[in-house]
């Protein structure tokens, strides 16, 4: 009998690319920060610093500071617009399912995304992070780059047998193989509907 469910996060509890529209978002940011620049000017400015629209915000901010003495406009734009574009293509797990499951099982997340980022997403999606007993960031502890480290920790914390744990993830190699090797049950999801079907959940939006 399943007592514990461990979820992967990215492409499991949400599908789609959170930053898929990063280009246009960064371009809008730079149009705001550099109102006199057209697109070509912006790209030239970036390339002068060895950057592109895909570069890290912090690197682009540094380039702005070096060139113009400030990145204030960039910060201003992004603090107002950080959630304007990035979620358009995302589909997010129905919070009701997680609430239901948390009443029957102990829920965990083991992810390659940082905990703060997961919690920030949850905040914006109306998902209560407290539904999860713990969220682990797979930081390759013990120089062992596998989620196995955290699966074992959860198993020992919960004092359950491996086959009382179900691991749900989209990535067979990263999420499921380490679980299988420990004797845990696994479920491969390729879209949210797979998870709804597995738990016979009516996803009425
Ligand atoms: Mg994933």
Task: Average pLDDT across each block of 10 residues of the chain; the chain has 205 residues. List them in order.
Answer: 96 78 85 96 97 83 91 81 60 95 98 78 90 84 72 97 98 94 97 96 84
Q: What is the pLDDT of residue 80?
A: 73
Predicted local distance difference test score (pLDDT) of residue 144: 62
The confidence score (pLDDT) of residue 20 equals 63
CA of 14 to the centre of ligand 1 (A): 9
Separation of alpha carbons 20 and 117, rounded Å: 16
pLDDT of residue 142: 42
Whole-number Å distance, alpha carbon 175 to ligand 1 midpoint, is: 7
Q: How far apart are CA 2 and CA 169, in angstroms?
A: 16
Q: Residue 168 pairs with which residues in a beta bridge?
A: 7, 187
Give the model's pLDDT for residue 178.
96
Chain mean position to CA 121: 7
Ligand 1 mean position, distance from CA 147 (Å)? 12
Rounded to whole angstroms, the Cα distance separating 83 from 37 reads 24
Question: Is residue 146 within 8 Å of 166, Cβ to Cβ?
Answer: no
Beta-ladder partners of 4: 106, 165
Q: How many angstroms separate the CA atoms of 132 and 112, rounded?
A: 16
Extract long-range pairs of 131-136: CB within 8 Å, 24+ residues apart: 131/98, 131/99, 131/101, 131/102, 131/107, 132/102, 132/107, 132/108, 133/106, 133/107, 133/108, 134/108, 134/109, 135/108, 135/109, 135/111, 136/108, 136/109, 136/110, 136/111
182 CA to centre of ligand 1 in angstroms: 19
**Taking a C-beta distance cutoff of 8 angstroms, is the pair 57, 82 a contact?**
no
For residue 117, the model assigns a pLDDT of 74
42 C-alpha vs ligand 1 centroid, how far in Å? Answer: 34
């Amino acid at each position: 009998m399943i007592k514990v469910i461990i979820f992967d996060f990215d492409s499991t509890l949400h599908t789609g690319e959170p930053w898929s529209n990063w280009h246009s978002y960064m371009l809008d940011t730079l149009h705001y920060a550099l109102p006199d620049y057209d697109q070509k000017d912006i790209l030239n400015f970036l390339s002068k610093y060895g950057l592109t629209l895909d570069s890290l915000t912090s690197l682009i901010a540094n380039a702005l500071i070096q060139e113009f003495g400030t990145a204030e406009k960039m910060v201003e734009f992004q603090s107002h617009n950080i959630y304007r574009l990035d979620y358009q293509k995302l589909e997010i797990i129905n919070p009701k399912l997680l609430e239901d499951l948390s009443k029957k099982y102990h829920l965990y997340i083991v992810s390659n995304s940082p905990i703060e980022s997961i919690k920030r997403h949850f905040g914006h999606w109306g998902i209560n992070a407290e539904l999860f007993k713990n969220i682990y960031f797979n930081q390759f502890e013990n120089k062992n780059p596998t989620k196995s480290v955290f699966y074992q920790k959860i198993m020992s914390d919960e004092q359950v047998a491996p086959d009382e744990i179900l691991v749900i993830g989209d990535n067979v190699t990263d999420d499921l193989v380490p679980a299988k090797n420990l004797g845990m049950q696994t479920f491969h999801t390729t879209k949210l509907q797979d998870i709804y079907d597995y738990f016979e959940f009516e996803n009425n939006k």
